[in-house]
């Protein structure tokens, strides 16, 4: 079931639910929740207006499903985000107890946050008014693209196409803030607390939204010139050919169209036109495998889903899924790492699904 929320600015086909994960570490103080395409959970405090919660959900959906056909554009990205347990928190303020709790205890991926005064559904992504596009894009890039395509979007020096392009854009490779950038630099972010990896994720954001045309008005170009100069799609293409070629490369399926805060595709919230008749967990494929395998499962109804990896001694290895999901045909990828991101040794592993009253366990073999 989806709920269509209509206002003067937005049509959003999502449902705000009570937080289904109040017992999860770092999520206990949120009361509002939206499941965005089964890959991002929007978590909001009780004081956040529903319109702002739904706005964040719509923006996230449009960035993931840029053609708005109800299906995430990059299916590999979908699997990575599901495995990462991605959350987009919305706090009343930076001093809220929910912010402290999440920072101290959350074990999933939440690389950015939104605050109540940063969200404006009437000015989607507009610089200085609505931070939703920026913070949600940071989250998708950091939790998803960096992990999925490290040679393209890795954040370490000399690690990727992204950082190679950034070193050119900054006029040199500066591990720490240089104080003063060279005259030939066009990306000169002035936050001295932002380290090299932070600079890289910000650079990726600037490039993507520039290509979308979000920054192209005269007032915005003037306001950001101290940090970012090529503020129009035309300037980006002619000035920074390396990053332009990267973000428009169809291999990575990055969003090209600017979100407008309206999201209501024909099959919104449903993975396929049909829904399975029964719960089912399928054999891992490939099996044996090295280094990744895909676990498919069917959900005939919306329910809380937990998929865990165990060793033969019954010890927890990794939590792949732990959130509410809508009915549909699902899959998740295991990359042979544990909850700390460390590679595990070769051997036999068990994977177990718990979905409502349905529980099933199967075996798989990791080769090295």
Q: What is the pLDDT of residues 207-230, one digit of tens each?
A: 999 999 999 988 899 999 999 999
Q: How far apart are CA 161 and CA 165, in angstroms?
A: 6
Domains and CATH numbers, the chain: 1-137+263-269 (no CATH), 150-251 (no CATH), 280-366 (2.60.40.1930)
Residue 37 has pLDDT above 60, yes or no: yes
Which residues neighbour 338 within 8 Å (Cβ) at sequence distance 6 or greater? 317, 318, 344
Which residues neighbour 315 within 8 Å (Cβ) at sequence distance 6 or greater? none
More confident residue, 69 or 281: 281
Residue with tokens 């995430």: 72
Q: How far apart are CA 107 and CA 297, in angstroms?
A: 24
Q: CB 183: neighbour CB atoms within 10 A?
A: 6
Q: How far apart are CA 174 and CA 204, in angstroms?
A: 17
Q: What is the pLDDT of residues 308-356, one digit of tens each?
A: 999 999 999 999 888 777 788 888 889 899 988 899 999 999 999 999 9
Q: How far apart are CA 162 and CA 254, in angstroms?
A: 13
Residue 271 has pLDDT above 70, yes or no: no
Q: CB 103: neighbour CB atoms within 10 A?
A: 12
Q: How far apart are CA 362 and CA 352, in angstroms?
A: 7
List of long-range contacts for 189-194, beta carbons under 8 Å, 24+ apart:
189/227, 189/228, 190/226, 190/227
Residue 233 has pLDDT above 60, yes or no: yes
Alpha helices of the chain — where are they, by DSSP H? Answer: 50-64, 75-84, 97-105, 132-140, 146-148, 150-153, 161-169, 196-212, 218-224, 233-239, 241-247
346 close to 289: Cβ distance less than 8 angstroms: no
pTM of the model: 0.74
Q: What is the pLDDT of residues 53-97, one digit of tens each?
A: 999 999 999 999 998 888 899 989 999 999 999 999 999 999 999
Q: 212 in the Ramachandran plot: left (φ > 0), alpha (ψ -120 to 50) or beta?
A: alpha
Q: How far apart are CA 227 and CA 332, in angstroms?
A: 39
Give the per-residue pLDDT at 126.
Answer: 86
Give the per-residue pLDDT at 274.
Answer: 59
Tokens in use for 89?
A: 């928190």
299 close to 356: Cβ distance less than 8 angstroms: no
């Amino acid at each position: 079931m989806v709920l269509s929320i209509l206002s003067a600015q937005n049509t959003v086909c999502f449902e705000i639910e009570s937080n289904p994960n109040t017992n999860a570490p770092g999520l206990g103080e949120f009361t509002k929740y939206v499941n965005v395409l089964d890959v991002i959970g929007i978590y909001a405090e009780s004081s956040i207006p529903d319109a702002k919660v739904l706005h964040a959900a719509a923006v996230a959906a449009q960035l993931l499903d840029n053609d708005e056909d109800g299906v995430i554009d990059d299916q590999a990205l979908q699997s990575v985000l599901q495995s990462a347990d991605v959350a987009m928190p919305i706090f009343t303020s930076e001093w809220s107890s929910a912010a402290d709790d999440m920072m101290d205890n959350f074990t999933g991926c939440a690389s950015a946050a939104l605050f109540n005064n940063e969200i404006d559904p009437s000015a989607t992504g507009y610089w200085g008014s609505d931070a939703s596009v920026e913070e949600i894009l940071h989250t998708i890039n950091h939790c998803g693209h960096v992990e999925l395509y490290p040679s393209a979007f890795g954040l370490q020096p000399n690690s990727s196409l992204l950082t190679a392009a950034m070193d050119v854009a900054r006029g040199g490779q500066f591990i720490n803030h240089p104080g003063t950038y060279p005259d030939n630099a066009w990306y000169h972010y002035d936050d001295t607390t932002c380290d090299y990896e932070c600079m890289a994720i910000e650079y990726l954001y600037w490039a993507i939204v520039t290509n979308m045309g979000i920054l192209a008005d005269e007032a915005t170009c003037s306001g950001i010139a101290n940090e970012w100069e090529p503020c129009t799609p035309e300037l980006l293409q002619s000035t920074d050919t390396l990053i332009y070629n990267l973000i428009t490369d169809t291999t990575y399926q990055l969003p090209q169209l600017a979100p407008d805060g309206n999201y209501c595709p024909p099959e919104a919230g449903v993975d396929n036109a049909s829904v399975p008749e029964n719960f089912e967990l399928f054999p891992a494929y490939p099996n044996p495998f090295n280094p990744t395998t895909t676990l498919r499962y069917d959900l005939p109804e919306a329910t809380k889903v937990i998929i865990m990896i165990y060793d033969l001694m019954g010890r927890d290895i990794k939590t792949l899924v732990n959130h509410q999901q809508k009915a549909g045909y699902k899959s998740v990828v295991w990359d042979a790492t544990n909850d700390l991101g460390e590679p595990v040794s070769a051997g036999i592993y068990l994977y177990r699904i718990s979905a409502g009253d349905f529980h099933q366990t199967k075996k798989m073999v990791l080769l090295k």
